[in-house]
């Protein structure tokens, strides 16, 4: 499971059914149950996402041995989902992850 920091003030964009709508726009279909969103698409066997208003939590199980085209499309759609849900680009998310790792080691 990974936790992604949300952009300041972005938590309100995920309230109610909005996180499911973002996942559906990114992956084509998504279901929600008890505040968690569930997706299965391409190389993603199961993706579960939820938020506490400050962070987005994503638990993902990937399929092995998928064709390159499917893997590329899956990565693209996953990045699109994470950007829409967190408000941060892939580059910003990577920078925040590096900063968090440095703080953890210090």
Task: Tell me, yes or no, whether 6 lies in a domain.
Answer: yes
pLDDT of the residue at 97: 86
Task: Tell me, yes or no, whether 106 lies in a domain.
Answer: no
- What is the extent of the structural domain holding 42? 2-101
CATH number at residue 46: 3.30.310.190
pLDDT of the residue at 16: 87
Q: What is the CA angle 40-23-65, rounded to 5?
A: 30
The pLDDT tens digits along the chain (106 residues) read: 999 999 998 888 898 899 999 999 999 999 999 999 999 999 999 999 999 989 999 999 999 999 999 999 999 999 999 999 999 999 999 998 898 889 876 5
pLDDT of the residue at 103: 86
Task: Tell me, yes or no, whether 91 lies in a domain.
Answer: yes
What's the structural domain count of the chain?
1
Task: Tell me, yes or no, whether 17 lies in a domain.
Answer: yes
pLDDT of the residue at 105: 61
């Amino acid at each position: 499971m990974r936790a992604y920091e949300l952009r300041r003030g972005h938590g309100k964009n995920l309230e109610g059914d909005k996180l499911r709508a973002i996942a559906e726009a990114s992956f084509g279909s998504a279901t929600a149950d008890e505040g968690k969103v569930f997706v299965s698409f391409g190389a993603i066997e199961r993706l579960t996402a939820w938020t506490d208003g400050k962070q987005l939590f994503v638990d993902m199980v990937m399929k092995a041995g998928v064709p390159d085209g499917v893997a590329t499309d899956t990565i693209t759609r996953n990045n699109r989902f994470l950007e829409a849900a967190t408000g941060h680009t892939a580059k910003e998310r990577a920078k925040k992850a590096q900063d968090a790792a440095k703080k953890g080691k210090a």
